[in-house]
Structure 1
Amino acid sequence: MTATQGQKKILKTEIELFITNKVKELRKANNIGQKKLSLELRLSISFVGRAENPYSKAKYNHNHLNEIARFFNVPFSYFFPETHLEKDCIEEYLEIHPKLKANYEKMMKKHEEKALKKLEEEERKKKEKAAAKKKATSKKK
C-alpha cells in the first residue's frame, strides 16, 4: 500500500470502485459473506475482502464478474453503469500506477522519435529527388 501524506492511497479507479460496489451491494442484499463468495469463485478466502478494500490492488476480472453474475443470476451488465463515466479512467489508472505511467511515457517518446525520424527521412528524400530533377533539367539546356 502506498502512503500519501500519512493517509492511504486509493488503488482503484472510479470504474473499478463502481464495479466493486455493485458486487458488494449484491452480495449483502443476498446475505452472502465475503468468504462464501471467495470460495464460490474458487479464490483465496480473503480475495473478496481485498477486492472490496479500495486500498488494495485486488480487483475482479471479467471471469470473476461472469461467475458472480451466474451465482446471483443477474446479467453481466448489472456490474456496469448505464452510460460511460465522465472521468478519464485511463489517466486515473496511470496516476495510481506511476511505474506503468513511466513505461507508457517512455514508449510514447520512442514512438514520437521514430515518427520524427521517418518524417525527416521523407523530407531528405524529397530534397534529393528535387535536386536530382533540377540537375537533370539543367543538363538538358
Structure 2
Amino acid sequence: MTATQGQKKTLKTEIELFITNKVKELRKANNIGQKKLSLELRLSISFVGRAENPYSKAKYNLNHINEIARFFNVPFSYFFPETHLEKDCIEEYLDIHPKAKARNEKMMRDYEEKARKEREAKEKAKKEKAAAKKKATSKKK
C-alpha cells in the first residue's frame, strides 16, 4: 500500500489491523472508552486511541492482548482470525517500515556473503587436500 501526495500511509499490517479492530469491537460492545482501557492496561491515557489509529505506529503486543482478554473475559484466540491471512504480513511490514527493510536486506546480503566465503574456503581446502594427496602418491612412485 503506497500513499499518494496528500494521503497518509497506513502504518499497520493487515494482521495488526485485524487485532485492533477486534479490540475496538469488544471495547465498544462493552461500552468501555479508550481512556478506561488504556488505564486498565497501565499505559498512557492516549495509547488505545493511538493503537486504534491506522496511521499511528502504536499497536498492541501479546502482553496487551492477554490483559485485554482477561479484562473482557474472552479467550486469547478471540483476537486472531480462525486461519492465517493470505497476505504476506512480513513483506507488508517491511514495505511499511523502510528502515526495517533496509536492515533485513543488509542482514541477508551479509548472510549470503558469509555463506559464499565458507563455500570458497571448503572448495579451497578440498583442492589443497587433493593436491597434497596427489603429491604424496607421486612421491611413493
TM-score range normalised by the length of the shorter chain = over 0.9
Counting only pairs closer than 5 Å after superposition, residues 116-127 of structure 1 correspond to structure 2 as 116-127=116-127
User: Any unmatched runs of 5+ in structure 2?
Assistant: none
Superposed, 1:12-91 pairs within 5 Å as 12-91=12-91
How many matched pairs? 140
Aligned-pair CA distance for 1:107: 1.0
Amino acid paired to 1:59? K
Output the TM-score relative to the length of structure 2. Answer: 0.95
Q: Which residue of 1 aligns with 2:132?
A: 132
Shift of 1:135: 1.0
Instruction: Please list the CA deviations of residues 4-28 of structure 1 after superposition, one character each: whole Å capped at 9, or x if unmatched.
Output: 4220000000000000000000001
The two structures have a TM-score, normalised by structure 1, of 0.95
One-letter code of the match for 2:136?
A: A
SS in 2 for 1:121: helix
Cα deviations across residues 56-77 of structure 1 (Å, max 9, x unaligned)?
Answer: 0000111111111111110011
CA shift for structure 1 position 39: 1.2
- Quote the RMSD (CA, aligned, Å): 1.3
Supply the AA of the counterpart residue of 1:122.
K
**Partners of 1:103 and 1:5 in 2: CA distance:** 27
Residue identity (%): 88
Larger mean CA deviation between 23-32 and 36-45 belongs to: 36-45
Deviations, residues 85-108 of structure 1 (Å, cap 9, x unaligned): 111111110111000110111111
Q: In 2, distance between residues paired with 1:77 and 1:54?
A: 22
Letter of the 2:125 partner, please give it.
Answer: K
Distance in 2 of aligned mates of 1:102 and 1:3: 19
Q: Partner letter of residue 72 of structure 1? A: F
Q: Distance in 1 between matches of 2:65 and 2:128?
A: 59
Give the unaligned 5+ runs of structure 1: none
